[in-house]
Amino acid sequence: MLRFILSRLASTVPVLLVVSITVFLVLRLAPGDPAAVIGGSNATTEDIAAIRQSLGLDKSLLQQFLIFIGNLLHGDLGRSYYFNKPVATLIAERVGPTLSIASGTMLFAVAVAVPMGTLAAWRMGGWVDRLVMGFSVLGFSVPVFVVAYLLIMPLSLKLGWLPVQGYVPTSDGLQAWASHLVLPWIALGTVYVALLARVTRASVSEALTEDYIRTARAKGVSQTAVLFRHALVNAAVPIVTVVGIGVSLLIGGVVVTETVFAIPGLGSMTVEAVLNRDFPVIQGVVLFFAFANVAINLLVDLCYLALDPRIRY
């Protein structure tokens, strides 16, 4: 087990290296000059040249890359062109809202989708099954920002139950913190509820046809126990796999959600960095998400061991 964990952690090095090279080249080859953005519309050619020199953008592409990799090996993600702060500091300041949205969304999706999919498998072909599958198709088809605006109109603008935008840290109270995140959780979670419900239905319905289910029923085990203690537990591996994939998909959803609800997280900071051609911030955020993705995949692999004792690494 320890050898497996160490090998997976070691594999993050080439992954992060490839990601670093890719994002570095894409940013440098894309149109747009950070010096021109910083200088503004009134900047002269000499002003832009001086800014480029101060940022190190006048060096060759190879020199810039070697400096970037050298700083990265020392744990330095660079300094933001636009915010004039270390990138690591900016990520630390903005990671709280993003983690709050991501973790809350996945908890909401799992808590809603797994029972929905299980009931749909239990009542396959009935009205519950058709209702769940209809919701799954609709929820997976509607974009996140559309769901967000559909929620804002009645719950915030009409009834005034929840705030429209903004973020409150947990230090100001859990109720205030949660009230600002309920709409983002539901808006972003709708897509993952639809996805998880379909996967749960397929996995549980397949498990219900196995011999051990017939044996449990023959022994007089209650329908609830058969459904949740036998079928759902044995169908958990595909569900956990989709949860891990869903975390990767959350990256794009978080960017849209934070923009719609004006939440100061990593997603909104990335949008600002792209608009301002802030290369160090974009590189740092991409590397952070890449490492988080690798860590989540490792956690999913470890969950397999607890869910299925037949799996060994």
**pLDDT (0 to 100) of residue 308:** 66
CA atoms within 13 A on the CB side of 51: 16
pLDDT at 312: 63
pLDDT of residue 4: 66
Quickly list DSSP for 18-78: HHHHHHHHHHHHSS--HHHHHH-TT--HHHHHHHHHHHTTTS-HHHHHHHHHHHHHTT---
CATH number for the domain formed by residue range(s) 90-307: 1.10.3720.10
Query: Whose structure tokens read 């800014």?
Result: 51
Residue 180, SS3 per DSSP: coil
CA distance 144 to 189: 9
DSSP 8-state class, residue 171: G
Instruction: Walk along the chain (313 residues) and give the pLDDT tens digit of each residue.
Output: 667 677 767 777 788 888 888 888 888 887 777 777 777 777 778 878 887 887 777 788 888 888 888 888 888 888 888 888 888 899 998 888 888 898 888 889 889 988 888 888 888 878 888 888 888 888 878 888 888 888 888 888 887 788 888 888 888 888 888 888 888 998 888 888 888 888 888 888 888 777 777 887 888 877 777 777 777 777 777 888 888 777 777 777 788 888 888 888 888 888 888 888 888 888 888 888 888 888 887 787 777 777 766 666 5
Own/partner long-range contacts of 65-68 (Cβ < 8 Å, ≥24 apart): 65/21, 65/24, 68/20, 68/24, 68/283
In 96-115, which positions are buried (b, 16+ CB within 10 angstroms) versus exposed (e)? bbbebbbebbbebbbebbbe
- At 121 the pLDDT is 84
Q: pTM, whole model, 2 decimals? A: 0.81
Token readout for 105 is: 């969304």
Q: What are phi and psi of 251, to 5 degrees?
A: -60, -50
DSSP string, 64-129: HHHHHHHHHHTT---B-TTT-SBHHHHHHHHHHHHHHHHHHHHHHHHHHHHHHHHHHHHTTTSHHH
Helix, strand, coil % over all residues of the chain, rounded to 5: 80, 0, 20
Which residues are registered as beta bridge partners of 79? 86
What is the per-residue burial (b if ≥16 Cβ within 10 Å, else e) of 35-49?
A: bebbbeeebeeeebe
Q: Where in the chain is the domain with CATH 1.10.3720.10?
A: 90-307
